[in-house]
Structures are given as structure tokens and as C-alpha cells.
């Protein structure tokens, strides 16, 4: 028998309204009660009539470990006032509510009653051990087995929530496994009933729950916050984490301060999709969690069928054969092969495919634009000499003079083309990408061809529904990286960023700050830079017409493509140090939020062409997530409203006809 103080002695008889129970032994003790194994006679009705049989049941006794005592079988209390009485009423009320729940994965309450100065309820006895004991024996569960148990637990939680009840202490120790392997939810000592308006029916506190399984807000829950099912959602995610790792889940404060330890799950071979579900369920900010257990179950069901497991993932982007592949280890301890971003424009090897004047223009534009006037004068002089020469040799044959004249025009056209090319504020590579230079700082714009794509999110509730078809009819350019502090400084003469570094993205800026920056940049370059529309941003983030259908912006692993809370990030990182997406764009997920042109609003339904959002609103859209965001929330579809903070920056766009 467990070492339990003040438990009822073996053989004690308890009389309920329907049945008589004989105590066999104590099974366990918690803060508010002692659970016993007991036997009772029950009437069984079958085809051959009615007969009596002895069955084993569990009986829970209300007994406050820190305040209760016992004289014989009577329970006494050392608490002052109505403390003991209030909690006993709560115990009975919850027993009454549990008795209403008839669900295959919730322990069945037979009856409840008062006796011996306290309260009891009898329930079915689940033979077999707890999930906690099962995990101690096996260490970890296969993903398929863990998700099967998770669905059963989730179904039970859903049934509770449908009856306005919360469990508030979900953990493997409070899940029993029948001999058939089915999961049964038990121990509702902290559970709470809410009325139809979402207010708790008793005035007693919710209780802090179990460290590792309770979210931060559980200890500070305030009456009137509605039915906070997200507290059970957090514990649900933590329970799945435990099943898949065999390790105690991090406490909510650790997740908040240090980030979600996705690498622990990755180490155990858990699929990226399941990791994403757990990560969102355990998000410290309750509004960013799944808002119901049903959402968790739907996500798990979907990804159980189509999840790409880490150890078999073969469809990572292939590095350019002309670039060196470098192996790096990120904060999540994953080895990744990627093509490093070129910090300066590279020379194209296939010079023969370019017009002869392009290399000349490139050299001149980068180094000696002051030669422009001289070259123009030279061109004019050359044409003048040609004309004079023709007039002086008018006696020559007309065929010869026509050829000379044509040659002179060709030379003039070439010189004119060189002059026009030098007047451009950029150089252009063989792919049509443009590199600009402002006050000694270079930045690259990637050309994105027009196309059609499905915009929005099908599964997760991230205000990105409905999925709708969007067509962009015009090519455009978008920044290879987020705007750096070096470029902002070169244009504005100041740096508002909290984290300082030339290669770091600029942050702590507002939408209006971005407009001032873009206006000055356009004045310096003679161009027409803008912020991308939300549709342009998402199309580019998904890889444009080169998209391979990755879950994140260039990979099925968010740790490969973005700096987030999930990679242990607590600050911004130099741009271009993760792998790019299919278009060669870096950091489309994570590092800093990126402001868009559109006002924030719910998506309309139906097909759209070149959408730019509503004509007015309260705040603008930000995309991509940040170093403070969970990796799961850096999918191309994720949307946010902007606020001037140290994780908000921008990425430039440019019309292709500029």
C-alpha cells in the first residue's frame, strides 16, 4: 500500500445512495483527495435475468492534505472559516458535473455522496497503469502510437469543453491506459465548471496546475475571462511532447524566455508537422495558440497522413553548382547545407550572351559615372566627323556613302545605349535581377515573374482564410534581403534599431518611417521603390512560379530558413545567413516582421487580380514573423498587424517597368 497518511483503514464500509462500498486499499493521494480501490455489489441485467456480482471500483474522498485530519473514520479540518466547506461543495459540484459526462475516454462516475464529515464519489476502476508509468517503461512512444493516444485524450477534452468544463491538470499521470490500450482521462481535482456565459460557477481559484503542463495564465486566471479552453490546449500539447520525448516539458516561463525547444523533438525523429502542432499548442501567448482542442486534432489528423519526416526529407533546394556549399549548425543544432548569399554582384561567365556594351556600362556605372559627359561629347563629335567626311567626299559612290553613314549611325546608337545604361541607377545580371548602390551600400532586387497562386491558409486559424485564387499580371522586383541598417543609415543618416549592426535588418520602425525612407531612396536613385503588396509578398515567399510547395519559405523545416524563437533566438541576426527560398530570397520567415502596402482586413472570398487590400483601415499588414515568434508562425500564409517594435522591419519592392 502506498505511504499515505490518514487514509481509511482496509475494510471500511461507505454507504452511498445506491451502492455499498468496502475499502480495499489506498491508491494515491493528491492535494484535495485520497483515491481508494473498493469493491461493491452491482446488479447486472442480461438475457437470463438479473443477478448480483462483485466489481471493483475507485472511490475518491475529499481530503485536504494540508488542512485535514482524521478521528476514526471522521474527517476533521484545521482550516479557519468556510475554507474546507467551500472546497467540499466544489468537490461535490464537480462530481455532479462529471457524472453527466458519458464518454468512452472519460472515467465514468457512478454516484456521489457525503459521509464521515466529508464527500465521496465512486467511479469505474480502470485496470492497467497510468500513461506516466507506461512512459517510464518505454521511454518514448512511436509517433503513430502517441498520436493515437492523443486523439483519444483530445476527444475526451472536447466532451468536457462541450459541457463547459475544464480539466486544468492534464498530464500523463492523469491518463490511464486500459488493458486494451485505450486512454481514459481521470483525476478532475482541479477541474472547473463554467456557466453559459463563461464564468466559473464556484468562487474558488483555478489552481496553478502542474509545472511543465500549465500555461502561465493559469495561475493568474481572472473571473470573467470566459471559458479559457486554451489552458487545456497548452497541457494537451505538453502531454504529446512528453509522449514523444520521454522528457518533462519545459515550464511555460522557460518557453517564454528561452523559446520552444523544437530541437528536442527533432532529436527524437518527430515529423516537422507534428512539431509545429505541439509548438503552437504550447505557445506562451494564449491568443496565438490553437483556440480549441478540435483545431489541434484536425491539424494532427491532416499531418499524420502527409507529414514529411525529418529523417527521410529529400526535397531540400539544390545549391547552385557555381557556388560553394557550406555546412553550418544553427541554434537548433541542425546541420544544413546552403548556398551563402553573395554580398556583392558577381560577374556573369556567359559574357557572349550579353550585348557588347553591358560589361562596359557595368564598369563605368560602378566606378566612373563622371565620364558620362565626356562620352556623350565624344559620341556627338564622332557623328559630326562622319557627316563632314561624307560631305567632303560627295563624289564617292552613293553605295559607299550609304554604308559609311549606316556605320556612323550604328556607332552613335551604341554610344547612346552605353550612355543610357550608365544613367540607370543599377546593374542587371543575366537573370534580370538588379543591384543598386546608394552612398556606397549595395542591395539586390530579385525579379519575380507574374503568376497565379492559392493565397491563404487551409488548416490553421491564423486569420488567413478563406484560401482564394490570386493572379498577379505584372512582373515585379522584391528585395533579396530585408533592408539592412547599413542601407537605412546610408539613406536616412540615422539608425533607429535596438540591435546594432550593419548587416542586421533595420527594426523599431513604423509604417510611416518606411514611407519616409522609401521617398528619400527614390529621390537618390530616381526609382519608384514601394512596399510590396500582401499578395506580392506571399507569392514571392512561396517561391513564385518556381515554388516547390514547401510548408515554410524555402523548406519544410522552419529552422533552415528563419531565425525564430524556436531556434533559440533572442535578437535579430545578419541577413542572408539561412538558406534562401526558390527565388533566392532570404529571411522571408523570421528575423523581423516585414511591413506591406495593404491595410489589414479579412480576406474576401473569390478570385482576385492584383489585390492591394482595402482603401483604408486601422493598421497595416506585417508578414513573415520574427525572432520573437514561434517557428510555426512563419509560414508564408501567416499575417499580423503592425506595431512599432524591435522586431519590425521592411523589404523593398519595385515595379518591373520602372
Do residues 622 and 596 touch, judged by C-beta distance below 8 A? yes
Res 503: pLDDT: 96
Mean model confidence pLDDT for the chain: 80
Q: For the whole model, what pTM was predicted?
A: 0.47
Do residues 123 and 109 touch, judged by C-beta distance below 8 A? yes
Q: Going by C-beta distance under 8 Å and a sequence separation of 6 or more, which residues neighbour residue 447? A: 431, 432, 433, 434, 475, 476, 477, 656
Res 383: pLDDT: 55
Q: Going by C-beta distance under 8 Å and a sequence separation of 6 or more, which residues neighbour residue 533? A: 596, 597, 598, 610, 611, 612, 613, 653
Res 432: pLDDT: 94
Cell of 600: 489589414
Q: In a 10 Å sphere around its CB, with 0-12 CB exposed, 13-18 middle and 19+ buried, how is residue 607 labelled?
A: exposed
Which residue in this structure is represented by grid cell 479540518? 77
CA dist., res. 260 & res. 251, Å (int): 10
Q: Going by C-beta distance under 8 Å and a sequence separation of 6 or more, which residues neighbour residue 74? A: 116, 117
Do residues 99 and 123 touch, judged by C-beta distance below 8 A? no
Res 216: pLDDT: 87
Residue 58's SS3 state is: strand
Which residue in this structure is represented by grid cell 507506461? 134
Q: Which residues of the chain have pLDDT under 50?
A: 1-2, 193-206, 305-372, 388, 394-401, 404-405
Q: In a 10 Å sphere around its CB, with 0-12 CB exposed, 13-18 middle and 19+ buried, how is residue 2 labelled?
A: exposed
Q: What phi, psi does 39 have (nearest 5°)? A: -125, 150
Res 346: pLDDT: 31
Residue 496's SS3 state is: coil
CA dist., res. 524 & res. 273, Å (int): 46
Res 330: pLDDT: 32
Chain segment 621-648, per-residue pLDDT in tens = 999 999 988 787 899 999 988 766 778 9
Amino acid at each position: 500500500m502506498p505511504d499515505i497518511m490518514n487514509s481509511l483503514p482496509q475494510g471500511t464500509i461507505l454507504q452511498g445512495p445506491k451502492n455499498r462500498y468496502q475499502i480495499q486499499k489506498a491508491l494515491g493521494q493528491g492535494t484535495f483527495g485520497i483515491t481508494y480501490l473498493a469493491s461493491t455489489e452491482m446488479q447486472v441485467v442480461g438475457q437470463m435475468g438479473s443477478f448480483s456480482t462483485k466489481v471493483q471500483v475507485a472511490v475518491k474522498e475529499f481530503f485536504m492534505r494540508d488542512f485535514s485530519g482524521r478521528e476514526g473514520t471522521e474527517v476533521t479540518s484545521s482550516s479557519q472559516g468556510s475554507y474546507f466547506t467551500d472546497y467540499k461543495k466544489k468537490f461535490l459540484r464537480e462530481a455532479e458535473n462529471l457524472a453527466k459526462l458519458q464518454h468512452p475516454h472519460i472515467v465514468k462516475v457512478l454516484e456521489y455522496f457525503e459521509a464521515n464529515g466529508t464527500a465521496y464519489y465512486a467511479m469505474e476502476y480502470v485496470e492497467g497503469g497510468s500513461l506516466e508509468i507506461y512512459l517510464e517503461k518505454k521511454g518514448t512512444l512511436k509517433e503513430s502510437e502517441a498520436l493515437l493516444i492523443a486523439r483519444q485524450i483530445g476527444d475526451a477534452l472536447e466532451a468536457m469543453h462541450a459541457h463547459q468544463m475544464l480539466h486544468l491538470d492534464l498530464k500523463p499521470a492523469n491518463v490511464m491506459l486500459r488493458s486494451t490500450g485505450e486512454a481514459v482521462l481521470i483525476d478532475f481535482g482541479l477541474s472547473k465548471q463554467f456557466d453559459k456565459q463563461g464564468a466559473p460557477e464556484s468562487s474558488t481559484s483555478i489552481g496553478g496546475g502542474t509545472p511543465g503542463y500549465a500555461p502561465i495564465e493559469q495561475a493568474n486566471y481572472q473571473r470573467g475571462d470566459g471559458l479559457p479552453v486554451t489552458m487545456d490546449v497548452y497541457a494537451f500539447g505538453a502531454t504529446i511532447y512528453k509522449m514523444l520525448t520521454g522528457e518533462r516539458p519545459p515550464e511555460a516561463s522557460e518557453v517564454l524566455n528561452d523559446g520552444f525547444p523544437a530541437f528536442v523533438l527533432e532529436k527524437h525523429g518527430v515529423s516537422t508537422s507534428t512539431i509545429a502542432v505541439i509548438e503552437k499548442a504550447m505557445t506562451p501567448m494564449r491568443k496565438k495558440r490553437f483556440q480549441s482542442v478540435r483545431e489541434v486534432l484536425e491539424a494532427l489528423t491532416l499531418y499524420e497522413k502527409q507529414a514529411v519526416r525529418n529523417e527521410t526529407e529529400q526535397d531540400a533546394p539544390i545549391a547552385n553548382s557555381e557556388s560553394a556549399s557550406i555546412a553550418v549548425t544553427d541554434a537548433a543544432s541542425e546541420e544544413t547545407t546552403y548556398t551563402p548569399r553573395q554580398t556583392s554582384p558577381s560577374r556573369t561567365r556567359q559574357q557572349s550572351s550579353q550585348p557588347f556594351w553591358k560589361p562596359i556600362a557595368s564598369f563605368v556605372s560602378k566606378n566612373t559615372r563622371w565620364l558620362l559627359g565626356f562620352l556623350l561629347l565624344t559620341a556627338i563629335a564622332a557623328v559630326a566627323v562622319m557627316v563632314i567626311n561624307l560631305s567632303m567626299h560627295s563624289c564617292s559612290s552613293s553605295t559607299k556613302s550609304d554604308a559609311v553613314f549606316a556605320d556612323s549611325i550604328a556607332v552613335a546608337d551604341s554610344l547612346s545605349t552605353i550612355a543610357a545604361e550608365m544613367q540607370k541607377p543599377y546593374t542587371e545580371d543575366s537573370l534580370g535581377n538588379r543591384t543598386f548602390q546608394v552612398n556606397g551600400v549595395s542591395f539586390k532586387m530579385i525579379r519575380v515573374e507574374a503568376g497565379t497562386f492559392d493565397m491563404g491558409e487551409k488548416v490553421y486559424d491564423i486569420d488567413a482564410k478563406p484560401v482564394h485564387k490570386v493572379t498577379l499580371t505584372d512582373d515585379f522586383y522584391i528585395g533579396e534581403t530585408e533592408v539592412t541598417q547599413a542601407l537605412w543609415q546610408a539613406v536616412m543618416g540615422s539608425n533607429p534599431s535596438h540591435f546594432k549592426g550593419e548587416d542586421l535588418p533595420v527594426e523599431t520602425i513604423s509604417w510611416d518611417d518606411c514611407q519616409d525612407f522609401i521617398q528619400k531612396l527614390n529621390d537618390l536613385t530616381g526609382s519608384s521603390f514601394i512596399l510590396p503588396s500582401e499578395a506580392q509578398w506571399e507569392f514571392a515567399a512561396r517561391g513564385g512560379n518556381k515554388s516547390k510547395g514547401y510548408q515554410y519559405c524555402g523548406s519544410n523545416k522552419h529552422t533552415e530558413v528563419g531565425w525564430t524563437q524556436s531556434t533559440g533566438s533572442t535578437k535579430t541576426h545578419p541577413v542572408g545567413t539561412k538558406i534562401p527560398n526558390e527565388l533566392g530570397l532570404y529571411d522571408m520567415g523570421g528575423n523581423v516582421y516585414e511591413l506591406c502596402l495593404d491595410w489589414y482586413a479579412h480576406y474576401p472570398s473569390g478570385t482576385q487580380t492584383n489585390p492591394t487590400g482595402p482603401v483604408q483601415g486601422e493598421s497595416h499588414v506585417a508578414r513573415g514573423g520574427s525572432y520573437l515568434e514561434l517557428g510555426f508562425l512563419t509560414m508564408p500564409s501567416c499575417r499580423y498587424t503592425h506595431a512599432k517594435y524591435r522586431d519590425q522591419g521592411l523589404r523593398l519592392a519595385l515595379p518591373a517597368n520602372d
